[in-house]
Amino acid sequence: MDKVGIVGCTQTKYEADKIDQTYSELVFEVVKKLHNELGITNDDIGCVITSSNDFNDGRTIANMAIQDAVGSIGKAESRVSGDGAFAYIYGAMRILSESYDTVMVVSHCKCSEVNQYLVNNTIFDPYYQRHLGLDQISSAGLMANMYMNKYGVTEDQAAKVVIKNRKNALNNPYAHLQKEITIDEVLNSKMLAYPLKELDFPPFSDGAVAMLLAKEDVAKKMTDTPVWLKGYGSCTDAYYLGHRNMTDLIGLELAAKEAYKMANIKDPVKEIDVCEVSENFSIHELMIYEALGLCAPGKGGEFIEGGETEMNGSIPVNPSGGVLSSNPIMANGLIRVAEIALQLKGKADKRQIPNAKIGLAYGMNGICSQGNCVLIFGGE
């Protein structure tokens, strides 16, 4: 595969309700910051790929409102309706197809505009499931319960994910929730969908992220620390929850296998230095460890108890604080890519993993990891 490099990336601070900014202004903030940081102008950008979701924004053709902000007047822009990781790979494809030298990828979400529980209910089909009232909370409860039942993973182990990610978020200036919490606070928080409690879930955040991609020679000219795409895999699980194996993330497992194959990774724990994953609830992160092959099926609980995914563990997961700390839903996947890029560039400041050379980013669409995108990146 030819090389596609991440030249630079920018993020907003993630917050609960950015009432002083429209979502176009959020996008403009990261685009302008990207221009300034890289010393480029709009003319240096070949085309733009955005990611957003009309439901989350409460606007049809949600990318129409950000044309001025992304500078695509007379220029090509296209929009992946879904998670930002999928927008990243579409942007990379536009370089690999030799159609553009540079592509800017932007993702935004302003969760405060719309009731996100109602939005998530509309993911369920209108004929059979929607009127049952399913949403991301109740379906996560079903998944977590089945998983814990099958493998004997405990609520304590799940709470450790929250503790870890919230603690990591203290080192990330962009993170939304920056307050250390105790295991008792998690375990005693309000029950939402057994066995998951309020603090097992992420907040809803407003924010945006932007990134410039370039083909090999251009990327090398624009930065001393380009971050290269090494592997990619994508896989979609069954739609109906009843058709899925709810105790294992099959779609993610297959996407990861494909990405490892492309990146020639045999032993992920040894070969990957840092992971940023889209964990939508505490137990979800444990299931993600297993699907990524970081530990054996059912061993996610033991894996976090052993401290393997802590900042100083054998494979740190979510040094940024992950989705449990900042959750501008559609942008989550592209934030994961941006955070891995910062790690591999050695520019992650207080959340930096020393000598990170290979990183993994995971973005997902839909309910309980239905649509999966795994990306492997390398520095140098």
Binding site for other proteins (CB under 8 A): 1-2, 24, 47, 53-55, 58-61, 63-69, 72-82, 86, 89-90, 92-99, 119-120, 122-123, 125-127, 232, 234-239, 250-251, 254, 365-366, 370-371, 373
Helix/strand number for the chain, H first, E second:
15, 11
CA distances from 30 to 10, 11, 27, 213, 283 (A): 6, 6, 5, 15, 32
CB atoms near residue 32 (< 10 Å):
14
Task: Closer to other proteins by CB, 81 or 178: give it.
Answer: 81
Task: Closer to other proteins by CB, 211 or 367: give it.
Answer: 367
Q: How far is the CB of 173 from other proteins (least distance, A)?
A: 30
With beta carbons less than 8 A apart as the criterion, state whether 195 and 145 touch: yes
Task: Closer to other proteins by CB, 11 or 369: give it.
Answer: 369
Residue with token string 């020639």: 264
Q: How far is the CB of 170 from other proteins (least distance, A)?
A: 33
With beta carbons less than 8 A apart as the criterion, state whether 42 and 71 touch: yes
Q: How far is the CB of 320 from other proteins (least distance, A)?
A: 24
Q: How far is the CB of 102 from other proteins (least distance, A)?
A: 15
Cα angle: 116, vertex 121, 122; to 5 degrees? 100
Q: How far is the CB of 251 from other proteins (least distance, A)?
A: 7
Q: How far is the CB of 346 from other proteins (least distance, A)?
A: 29
Q: How far is the CB of 353 from other proteins (least distance, A)?
A: 29
The residue type of 47 is C
Task: Closer to other proteins by CB, 125 or 180: give it.
Answer: 125
Task: Closer to other proteins by CB, 320 or 365: give it.
Answer: 365
C-alpha torsion sign, points 288, 289, 293, 295: negative
With beta carbons less than 8 A apart as the criterion, state whether 364 and 358 touch: no
Task: Closer to other proteins by CB, 122 or 188: give it.
Answer: 122
With beta carbons less than 8 A apart as the criterion, state whether 232 and 350 touch: no
Task: Closer to other proteins by CB, 11 or 365: give it.
Answer: 365
Q: Tell which residue, 376, 82, 372, 89, has the closest CA to residue 250.
A: 372
With beta carbons less than 8 A apart as the criterion, state whether 262 and 377 touch: no
The torsion angle over the Cα atoms of residues 157, 161, 166 and 168, rounded to 10 degrees, is 120
Q: Is residue 49 exposed (0-12), middle (13-18) or buried (19+ Cβ within 10 Å)? A: buried
Q: How far is the CB of 341 from other proteins (least distance, A)?
A: 20
Task: Closer to other proteins by CB, 69 or 227: give it.
Answer: 69
